[in-house]
Homo-oligomer: A and B are copies of this chain.
């Protein structure tokens, strides 16, 4: 394991202590001070997609550098693909060093992107690599990572502890038995990993295999699903089970945030038709809209926080989907409308403080126009952090800029890393904490916020808001 000596400038660039902050010296000094007060706070990760199996077996280790950092990361794959690199070359299983070389030789594509910042942070902070990743350094860095991954200190549980994670929420299908969560609990290990109830596969009638999913739901819940009422009972049973396993939240996704309350007969007929395999796109949309209403009702009853992720048109590229499946970087946002769409749900539950509905969007135009005014008025609403493409330095800046003046700070829900890339969690929270510190420093230096208030609010952004919004 050899690597070239670093010039001080290179080493400094990799992870400068004052990185990301706006350059004006007075503001930066305040930002640094605010950040220093929160840098060591434990990570609260209330929403993400890390595989709980990583932590079920104490001896589990990660795969090779490519299996770890390249192939599962659709942010990385799609950027390489966009410049003409074939998926089949990237997803080749047998020659990881060749894939790594391809990745490293094209690492310049990630200049000025969040993936570039996260990967640089991971290499430096998780693996101690100060060298820039490029064509020349590729194999050296591969060696370094590979060697580290063999060591106990780089096993998932060890990194969980090194990362100082207070709680990590996974996302789990309604039909999941949560066996890995059970194994974690049974093992006596102290890491807090909680499930999140995600019923998409049994709610969206257009999901391939919906009927099988419903059959699985019946089996796992022990509720015979013969009609809409028993379907709801099965869901309620599963929510109870998830709660017993530590879940504090649900998550549901939909292309649009349309909500409605169908009449009992209408929804019964719709569900019965779906069981018979008769589903139109319109019927599926109506069913999802009604199910958002039912999910809110259940949250009022059982206290689980409701998350709603809207606005992604999944699998936009049929060729890539057919060949490589979902989550390959071709989920493309569409415009979303919340003011009209959420009204039926809010009419019923918007004033009810038992509901905590956290909204996410891929359409920033609704931040200031719709989401901030809604969350700044309805007690049941909170705004989730910048999501997906907006989980970035500028995305966060635009979020603070467009949301806070109207919604206020306390109607936001802190940060989600929302990642399946476990190793990127500290990097992602670091960007958020620095963005919050930088934004607060901008208020302090403009006389809009007192210094003590700013320090308290920095703690809120780092973890307090998330802990409260998710009832953790």
Report A391 CB to chain B, min CB distance, Å: 10
Residues of the B chain whose Cβ atoms lie less than 8 Å from the Cβ of A26: 23
Whether the pair A82, B317 counts as a contact (CB closer than 8 A) is: no
A143 in the interface (beta carbon within 8 A): no
Interface residues on A, range: 35 or more
Docked Cα-Cα span, A390 to B403, in Å, equals 11
> Quick one: which of B12, B84, B389, B402 contacts A405, CB cutoff 8 A?
B389
| Cα–Cα, bound, A18→B445 (Å) | 10
What is the total number of copies of this protein in its complex? 3
Name which of A316, A319, A362, A451 has the most chain B CB atoms within 10 A of its CB: A316
- Chain B residues near A84 (CB, 8 Å)? 353, 379
A409 within 8 A of B: yes
A109 touching B408 in the complex, CB below 8 Å, given contacts A20-B447, A368-B389, A369-B364: yes
- A24 proximal to B (CB < 8 A): yes
Q: A207 at interface (Cβ–Cβ under 8 A)?
A: no
Residue from B21, B112, B334, B449 within 8 A of A340 (CB atoms): B334
- Collect the chain B residues with CB atoms within 8 Å of residue A330's CB: 377
With the chains together, A346 CA to B313 CA distance in Å? 14
Segment among A90-98, A197-205, A295-303, A392-400 that sits at the interface with chain B: A392-400
Contact indicator B448/A117 (Cβ below 8 Å): yes
Say whether B405 contacts A112, CB under 8 Å.
Answer: yes
Q: Render A315-353 as a binary contact track against B, CB cut-off 8 A, 1 for contact.
A: 011111000000001111111010110010011001101
Closest B residue by C-beta to A382? B82
A351 to B442, CA, bound (A): 44
**Which one, B82, B343, B389, B393, contacts A316 given CB within 8 A?**
B343
Q: Tell me which residues across on chain B come within 8 A of A332, comparing CB atoms.
A: 339, 370, 373-374, 377
Neighbouring B residues of A343 by C-beta, 8 Å: 316
Question: Does any Cβ of B come within 8 Å of A27's Cβ?
Answer: yes
B411 touches A82 (CB 8 A): yes
Assess the A453–B108 pair: CB atoms within 8 A.
yes
CA distance A340 to B81 in the complex (A): 21
Among B22, B319, B446, which residue has its beta carbon within 8 angstroms of that of A21?
Answer: B446
Q: Is A241 an interface residue, CB under 8 A from the partner? A: no
Q: Mark A412-452, 1 if CB is under 8 A from B, else 0.
A: 00000000000000000000000000000011011111110
In the complex, the answer to whether A379 meets B447 with C-beta atoms within 8 Å is no
A379 to B448, CA, bound (A): 39
Q: A110-B408, A111-B457, A317-B350 are in contact. List 11 more A-B contacts (CB 8 A).
A: A22-B446, A23-B24, A23-B446, A83-B410, A112-B408, A114-B405, A316-B374, A316-B377, A319-B347, A332-B339, A394-B402
Give 27 A-B contacts (CB < 8 Å), ordered by A residue: A20-B448, A23-B26, A23-B27, A23-B445, A82-B407, A83-B410, A83-B411, A84-B353, A112-B405, A113-B405, A313-B339, A316-B374, A316-B377, A319-B347, A329-B377, A332-B373, A334-B339, A334-B340, A334-B369, A335-B365, A363-B365, A364-B368, A365-B365, A389-B405, A392-B406, A394-B402, A398-B401
